[in-house]
């Protein structure tokens, strides 16, 4: 049996096992809710029947009820456990390892986003490693492998980092050529697509990215003169974390970084992550809803980091991450010698519209994407930002307007030169001036 076949079998078995294991956990949670509710009901019956002398009949009825309900839930949970074991022995239905297919990798990415930290700790076959990918397959950062995967390697690397629950396939949204493919044609740059486990802490992924780029740049077929990092959503935070760590440790690759691009990245945190945190704390206060709180509290380390936009270990190490008031984030400075470009979006035509202010791009609010609110200021310069309207969070993955704005900046064209190239002001749709956000 070759390596790919072993990988295929391991991934498919683990997917089947997880499906039934999670169903079994859900059944156990439902049983706890049922038990808490029935306890209140029987207590009410006991109090209500006491005046007429029938309270003694409640205890036997409750005993029978508990035995039937408990037995039923236990049987279902046991069946799920058995099904999980059976599923783990089956590896049919996939011609390739799921992680190397678009649909399979998308499913695994969603699982990683939810419980990727648990999978990593358990050394699950589904715990995606930080790696360069070409056509879904891992490319080892070794000279021979890189020469084979990148026969037209250039000295300018553009490294792409996807967001939460995404893979490198996300950059193909809309069916247009990816930013990387277009930059290859327009700038002679080499597109490097990286996939990683978004359920792990951002600081952990930042550390892994630092290590990977150290090895990659050293083994690259030609001397690397320039590195550009492009991150969508969480990917922008991972890029910043890696740059910060590499800068502190004096890594060689970070000296070649000229530009870091954040597309809809929640530098100040994401409202959905904050809402889930507070909801979990509220549900934990009531016995009947504690199983739901437990479910929400299983959210991955990566999702938790989106509460504030945490980039370093100090934000989570040794802290109670379920505390109602999460400790303030440690501010991480931008890489000094690099230009930091950033793009925000609103689903409304006018960024100043009340809905646009409250919803942003659907997942990230404008102040977070531009790294500035009343309390925090990441350090981005207004002239390095761009805002688009009538767009959602995922529009930023592949958008003509964003690319037209990005290209001259990566080419190194100044503002005056850009106006000459486009015959006037930079091409921007109505209401997209960063000063209006």
SS3 helix, strand, coil % of the chain, rounded to 5? 55, 10, 35
pLDDT at 1: 56
pLDDT at 15: 72
Q: Is 14 a domain residue? A: yes
β-bridge partners, 127: none
Whether the CB-CB separation of 157 and 218 falls below 8 Å is answered with: no
Q: Please say which residue of 71, 94, 117 terminates a domain.
A: 94
User: In residues, how long is the chain?
Assistant: 437
Tens-digit pLDDT profile for residues 285-302: 666 556 555 655 667 899
Whether the CB-CB separation of 138 and 132 falls below 8 Å is answered with: yes
Half-sphere exposure of 435 (CA within 13 A, CB side): 1
Q: Is 237 a domain residue? A: yes
Answer yes or no: do 39 and 139 share one domain: no
User: Where in the sequence is the domain holding 7, given as residue range(s)?
Assistant: 3-94
Count the Cβ atoms, other than its own, within 10 Å of residue 55: 14
Answer yes or no: do 135 and 90 share one domain: no
Q: Is 284 a domain residue? A: no
Q: Give every residue of the chain whose pLDDT is below 70, as ranges.
A: 1, 16-50, 52-95, 276-281, 283-298, 324-328, 413-437
263: left (phi over 0), alpha (psi -120 to 50) or beta: beta
β-bridge partners, 228: 158, 259
Query: What totals of helices (H) and strands (E) does the chain contain, helices first?
Result: 14, 8
Whether the CB-CB separation of 348 and 355 falls below 8 Å is answered with: yes
Distance of CA 31 to the CA centre of its chain: 31
What CATH number is attached to the domain comprising 365?
3.40.50.1820
Answer yes or no: do 161 and 260 share one domain: yes
Answer yes or no: do 208 and 87 share one domain: no
pLDDT at 49: 55
pTM > 0.85: yes or no:
no
β-bridge partners, 230: 160, 261
Whether the CB-CB separation of 158 and 190 falls below 8 Å is answered with: yes
pLDDT at 357: 83
Answer yes or no: do 141 and 43 share one domain: no
Answer yes or no: do 89 and 137 share one domain: no
Q: Is 308 a domain residue? A: no
Measured between alpha carbons, how far is 109 from 99 in angstroms, rounded to an integer? 9
Q: Which residue has the tokens 């079994």?
A: 24
Helix H or strand E segment including 229: strand 226-232
Q: Is 297 a domain residue? A: no
Edge-to-edge strands of the sheet including 137-139? 137-139, 131-134, 190-195, 156-161, 226-232, 257-263, 339-345, 385-388
Q: Which two tokens stand for residue 84?
A: 């999980």
pLDDT at 13: 74
277: left (phi over 0), alpha (psi -120 to 50) or beta: alpha
Answer yes or no: do 59 and 144 share one domain: no
Provide the number of structural domains found in the chain: 2
Measured between alpha carbons, how far is 290 from 325 in angstroms, rounded to an integer? 19
β-bridge partners, 219: none
Count the Cβ atoms, other than its own, within 10 Å of residue 22: 16
Half-sphere exposure of 141 (CA within 13 A, CB side): 20
Sheet strands (E) in 333-376: 339-345
Answer yes or no: do 75 and 140 share one domain: no
Answer yes or no: do 432 and 350 share one domain: yes
Q: Please say which residue of 41, 69, 94 terminates a domain.
A: 94
Q: Which two tokens stand for residue 391?
A: 């767009």
Answer yes or no: do 136 and 47 share one domain: no
3-state secondary structure of 142: coil
Q: Is 116 a domain residue? A: no
Answer yes or no: do 253 and 162 share one domain: yes
pLDDT at 65: 43
Answer yes or no: do 138 and 230 share one domain: yes
Tens-digit pLDDT profile for residues 20-38: 454 445 445 444 544 555 5
């Amino acid at each position: 049996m070759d390596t790919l076949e072993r990988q295929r079998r391991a991934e498919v078995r683990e997917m089947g096992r997880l499906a039934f294991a999670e169903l079994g956990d859900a059944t156990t949670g439902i049983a706890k809710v049922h038990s808490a509710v029935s306890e209140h009901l029987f207590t009410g019956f006991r109090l209500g029947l006491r005046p007429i002398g029938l309270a003694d009949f409640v205890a036997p009825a409750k005993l029978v009820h508990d035995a039937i309900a408990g037995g039923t839930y236990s049987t279902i949970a046991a069946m799920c456990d058995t099904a999980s074991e059976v599923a783990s022995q089956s590896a049919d239905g996939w011609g390739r390892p799921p992680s190397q297919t678009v649909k399979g990798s998308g499913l695994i990415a969603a699982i990683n986003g939810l419980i990727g930290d648990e999978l990593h700790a358990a050394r699950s076959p589904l715990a995606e490693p930080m790696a360069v990918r070409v056509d879904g397959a891992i490319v080892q950062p070794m000279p021979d492998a890189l020469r084979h995967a990148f026969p037209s390697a250039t000295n300018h690397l553009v490294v792409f980092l996807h967001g939460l629950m995404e893979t490198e396939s996300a950059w193909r949204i809309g069916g247009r050529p990816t930013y990387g493919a277009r930059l290859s044609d327009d700038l002679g740059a080499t597109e490097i697509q990286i996939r990683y486990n978004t359920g792990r802490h951002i600081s952990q992924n930042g550390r892994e990215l630092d290590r990977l780029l150290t090895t990659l740049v050293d083994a690259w077929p030609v001397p690397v003169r320039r590195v550009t990092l492009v991150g969508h959503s969480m990917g922008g935070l991972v890029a910043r974390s890696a740059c910060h760590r590499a800068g502190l440790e004096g890594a060689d690759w970070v000296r070649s970084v000229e530009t870091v691009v954040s597309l809809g990245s929640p530098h100040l945190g994401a409202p959905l992550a904050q809402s889930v945190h507070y909801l979990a704390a509220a549900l934990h206060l009531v016995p009947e809803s504690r199983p739901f709180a437990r479910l929400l509290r299983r959210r991955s380390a990566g999702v938790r980091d989106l509460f504030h936009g945490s980039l370093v270990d100090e934000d989570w190490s040794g802290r109670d991450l379920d505390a109602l008031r999460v400790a303030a984030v440690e501010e991480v400075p931008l890489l000094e010698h690099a230009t930091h470009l950033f793009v925000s979006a609103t689903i409304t035509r006018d960024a100043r519209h009340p809905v646009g202010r409250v919803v942003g791009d659907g997942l990230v609010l404008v102040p977070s994407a531009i790294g500035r609110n009343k309390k925090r200021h990441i350090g981005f310069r207004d002239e390095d930002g761009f805002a688009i309207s009538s767009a959602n969070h995922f529009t930023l993955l592949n958008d003509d307007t964003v690319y037209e704005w990005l290209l001259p900046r990566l080419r190194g064209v100044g503002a005056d030169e850009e106006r000459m190239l486009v015959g006037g002001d930079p091409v921007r749709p109505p209401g997209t001036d960063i000063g209006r956000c």
